[in-house]
Amino acid sequence: MVQIVDKKVNLEFPLGHHLHCLIAQIPNHLRRAEAGFALAEPARKWAQVEALLDLAVTGESNLKKLHFLMLPESSIPFARFDELLERIRTGFRPNTVTMFGMEHVTLKVYREFLERFREDNGEAIELVDRDIDSGDVLEMPVNWCCTAIKEADGKLRVFLEAKSHPFHGEEFLDKVHDLYRGRHFYLFRSRPACFNFMVLICLDYLYRDLYSSNIRQIVDHANQLYFSTRQGLDALFVIQCNPKPEHRAYWEVLTGFYGEYLEDTPGVRETVTVFGNASVETRIEDAPAAGEFGRSAVIINRHHKLAKVELPEFSTDDFGGAPLCRLRFGTGTRLYYFNLPQHHELDPRTTRVPLKVHAIMRWSTEEKWVRVSGEEMVAGFEIGQEA
């Protein structure tokens, strides 16, 4: 199983106030390539991403308060990696975390990028080098992501992770279709805010072998953190390109994560889990239509009460009776801007909702992001009891 590596980062989040997150639920058009899959329309994809970056830089729609920006798995053209980092370095505000999935590359190229950012990825290099020393693996495709953190003093730090879970391409007998399996996850421990978070790639959230699982390792690590420091895992971000975002396996893992069925898990009791998926317009070459993409979601424990809401753009529920509260978004190409709940259970003396949607934007025919109007938002509006 993977190794969890603690990383201290300098983030001065506002104490005692909620943080803000933006999910970019944008489409992926992927085609087969020598190394896994590549973006079929990289210029069009970059135009959407660049328009989003412009919003974040100018602070439009209250984005001056943006702390976490999520883009889907495999969503950034490899040729634009340096340009994206430079936009973050020069334009983003301090105390900003940007998470994005990269176009597939070979393990040889991935290793070169780890070396380039060795200061932040030294432990990962050691783990990758063990695999390289063990066999002929340099041409294996790597599904990878980047967490770019602009710290309080303006320094940009770059952390890279490779997906540990296999993918449908490995159903072939030909070994060259196998995906390299990552060996590490980062647990970011921000100071002085004492806000701890992790980033996973899609099915890494579910992956298990016969005797252990990624999520159980995360729970155990968070519990040890709680027992030693009285801190826990505050947020778990999962970037996806998933045609089955509500598969039964997710229900099972979330139920075990948030429910005290075998033991108390104080390290993850207040964790906010954020799933950022690709939109319904996603297309993958040679992949059968296996369901709808989209349905990004925010999960909090059941002690936070959310009013029952059913809107075209988002709704709330308990995910089929699971011990949690879920804010569930739609399937379209959207930007979802919301706040993360504060790190405590709901005050019984107030009816204030701990999780609010601040803005939703759609991709217009003029190829720019525009805010969804109030009329669009409330069409078919229904509101009821607590979720």
One-letter amino acid at 112 equals E
Range 119-123, long-range pairs (CB < 8 A, 24+ positions): 119/157, 120/7, 120/157, 120/158, 120/159, 121/158, 121/159, 121/160, 123/3, 123/5, 123/184
Those residues whose C-beta lies under 8 Å from the C-beta of residue 192, and which sit 6 or more positions away, are 12
Length of the chain: 387
Rounded-to-integer distance, Cα 261 and Cα 255, Å: 9
Residue range 269-291: average pLDDT? 86
pLDDT band (50, 70, 90) for residue 9: very high
pTM over 0.85: yes
pLDDT at position 345 over 80: no
Rounded-to-integer distance, Cα 178 and Cα 163, Å: 12
Question: Per residue in 94-106, pLDDT tens?
Answer: 999 999 999 999 9
pLDDT at position 347 over 70: no
Question: What does DSSP assign to residue 129?
Answer: H
Question: Per residue in 71-84, pLDDT tens?
Answer: 999 999 999 999 99
Residue range 228-247: average pLDDT? 94
Rounded-to-integer distance, Cα 140 and Cα 131, Å: 11
